[in-house]
């Protein structure tokens, strides 16, 4: 009885895609998959979700109903809600983007990044997935905040092009703030430290024109409030939503967002390479 030869697969008989180094899903597919993963993980952290959704709404209600009568914005008390809502929208984006830092830090600490690297997944799709998930979460929370604002008396008068530009400015800042948070998550050594660092980013709407006109602030703060990146975004949203002339303010706001995004994305790439050596 003769031995039966068992055919073996040879490299030359393997499918071309299996023999091609680096072959696999494209960067957009990987980003979409990792964004869906980030959304699933964030949906399990209900306490953080509730905080990021409820806190901006509570602050808006406090400023409108508790402090609105005492704050002088050059308008009457009944229209203070018209003044404050654009600032609260940016504040909501800052709170929502801050959770990205914690999520990235948890990934770096938990060892999942090493598994991704064995699958030939680079840092860009991982970070972009977190940013994409942050953008989806922030747009949802912004819609909720805006809905509550309508219930308490906010009445926008934006034109069709105005609404489009409002969406562009909001999304640009959400993406920029999310990339900054991703960089902070890579810089911090623990999720707790990442959460603490993002406090400074969430604080930026306060020394701006979000809640009071900047000319009511002390001289030493007035200059900073006028020239920090959040103020032109808030002025753009306020003017566009109220149907007012905004001049070139939206383009200044978008230039700030583009600059912040470029710096944050570049820093994130460098920090990821350093952390995964």
Please give the pLDDT value at position 14. Answer: 32
Q: Smallest Cα–Cα separation from 73: which of 196, 214, 237, 212?
A: 212
Q: How many residues does the chain have?
A: 277
Q: Give the whole-angstrom CA distance, residue 87 versus residue 117.
A: 40
Q: What is the pLDDT along the chain (277 residues), one digit of tens a residue?
A: 444 443 443 333 333 333 344 455 677 788 888 888 888 887 777 776 777 778 888 888 888 888 777 776 665 445 788 899 988 888 888 877 878 888 888 888 877 877 877 777 777 888 889 899 989 888 888 898 899 999 988 999 999 999 999 999 999 999 999 999 999 988 888 888 887 777 777 788 889 988 888 888 888 898 899 989 999 999 999 999 999 999 999 999 999 999 999 999 999 989 888 888 7
Q: HEC profile for 16-85?
A: HHHHCCCCCCCHHHHHHHHHHHHHHHHHHCHHHHHHHHHHHHHHHHHHHHHHCCCCCCCCCHHHHHHHHH
CB neighbours (10 Å) of residue 128?
22
Residue 166, classified by CB atoms within 10 Å of its CB into exposed (0-12), middle (13-18) or buried (19+), is buried
What lies within 8 Å, CB to CB, of 163 at 6+ separation is: 240
What are 29's two structure tokens? 């597919």
Q: Give the whole-angstrom CA distance, residue 214 versus residue 231.
A: 9
Q: Smallest Cα–Cα separation from 259: which of 179, 203, 170?
A: 179
pTM exceeding 0.85:
no
CB neighbours (10 Å) of residue 37?
16
């Amino acid at each position: 009885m003769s031995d039966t030869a068992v055919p073996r697969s040879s490299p030359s008989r393997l499918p071309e895609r299996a023999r091609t180094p680096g072959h696999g899903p494209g960067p957009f597919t990987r980003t979409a998959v990792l964004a869906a993963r980030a959304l699933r993980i964030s949906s399990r952290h209900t306490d953080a979700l509730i905080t990021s959704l409820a806190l901006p709404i509570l602050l808006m209600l406090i400023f409108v109903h508790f402090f609105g009568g005492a704050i002088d914005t050059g308008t009457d008390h009944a229209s203070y809600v018209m003044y404050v809502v654009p600032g609260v929208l940016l504040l909501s984006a800052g709170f929502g983007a801050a959770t990205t830092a914690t999520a990235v830090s948890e990934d770096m600490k938990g060892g999942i990044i090493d598994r991704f690297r064995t699958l030939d997944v680079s840092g860009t799709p991982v970070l972009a997935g977190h940013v994409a998930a942050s953008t989806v979460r922030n747009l949802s929370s912004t819609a909720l905040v805006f809905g509550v604002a309508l219930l308490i008396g906010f009445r926008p008068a934006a034109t069709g092009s105005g609404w489009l530009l409002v969406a562009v400015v909001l999304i640009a800042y959400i993406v920029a703030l999310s990339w900054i948070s991703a960089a902070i998550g890579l810089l911090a050594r623990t999720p707790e430290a990442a959460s603490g660092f993002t406090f400074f980013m969430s604080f930026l709407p306060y020394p701006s024109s979000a809640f009071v006109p900047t000319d009511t602030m002390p001289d030493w703060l007035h200059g900073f409030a006028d020239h920090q990146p959040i103020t032109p975004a808030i002025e753009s949203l306020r003017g566009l939503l109220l149907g007012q002339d905004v001049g070139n303010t939206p383009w200044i706001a978008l230039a700030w967002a583009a600059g912040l995004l470029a710096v944050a994305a570049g820093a994130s790439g460098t920090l990821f390479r350093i952390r995964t050596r």
